[in-house]
Amino acid sequence: MSKGPAETRAFLDAFEPPSGVDVIVCPPYVSLAPAVGNGVPVYAQSVHWAAEGAFTGEISASMLVELGVDGAVVGHSERRQQFGEPDDTVARRAEAALAAGLGVIACVGETEAEREAGETEAVLTRQVAAIPRHERLVIAYEPVWAIGTGRTATPEIAQEAHALIRALHPTPVLYGGSVKPENAAELMAQPDVGGALVGGASLDPASFRAICEAASAVS
């Protein structure tokens, strides 16, 4: 929940994506329209599964299409943890977006308690099983214990999780969890890490470009 319309326009004016890497920005709903048409694909941060109806506060896939948005994130760890989104509604959101012609970034990841209990493989297997297979869908692995905490999965931990996910679902897998310019290259050099889902470090144009440049260098 960062950057209103004016801040979004200023960000995109200052941000120039490097060549050799696919870059997407995911502003909040009120900033989607100002972001569209600035040379960078735009994804919403969530999308509802229904075309319309009594779902106050939600946004349908057809509304995003009408705005010119390219896709949507579904199942982000904050949506799962703070708003109680279960696997089945994550799947329904993804399916609705794909049916409307949008791209999808579907997020999965274990909590700290689940990792400490040795449940990482079971959690990821359950979450990935709910995600549809489609050429316009990619998965993002977000270890919840590394979201906004400053803690980052080691490259070895990230690679292990990504290898598991790719064995379950044949799609590129992004890493999300305190990605910043200082650790981006090492993380994305891992063989099964296909990119990054960047949080706080994406809010500054120079920081985000540095991460994109790290991705370009290892692609």
Position 81 scores a pLDDT of: 93
**What are the backbone dihedrals phi and psi of residue 86, each rounded to the nearest 5 degrees, phi first?**
-85, 170
- Are 45 and 85 in contact by the 8 Å Cβ rule? The answer is no
Position 16 scores a pLDDT of: 95
Residue 134 annotated to the active site = no
pLDDT tens-digit readout, 41-58: 999 999 999 999 999 999
Domain ranges of the chain: 5-218
Residue 162 annotated to the active site = no
Position 79 scores a pLDDT of: 95
Could you tell me the CATH superfamily of domain 5-218? Aldolase class I (3.20.20.70)
Residue 106 carries which side chain, given as an amino acid letter? A
Pick out the chain residues at pLDDT < 70.
none
**Catalytic-role residue among 85, 95, 110, 142:** 142
Q: How far apart are CA 138 and CA 45, in angstroms?
A: 14
Position 146 scores a pLDDT of: 84
**Catalytic-role residue among 76, 85, 95, 162:** 76
Q: Which two tokens stand for residue 177?
A: 């969890």
Position 149 scores a pLDDT of: 76
Position 71 scores a pLDDT of: 99
Question: 178 Cβ partners below 8 Å, 6+ apart?
Answer: 146, 147, 148, 149, 150, 151, 152, 199, 200, 201
Q: Which two tokens stand for residue 85?
A: 């989104």
Q: How far apart are CA 121 and CA 170, in angstroms?
A: 17
Position 168 scores a pLDDT of: 98
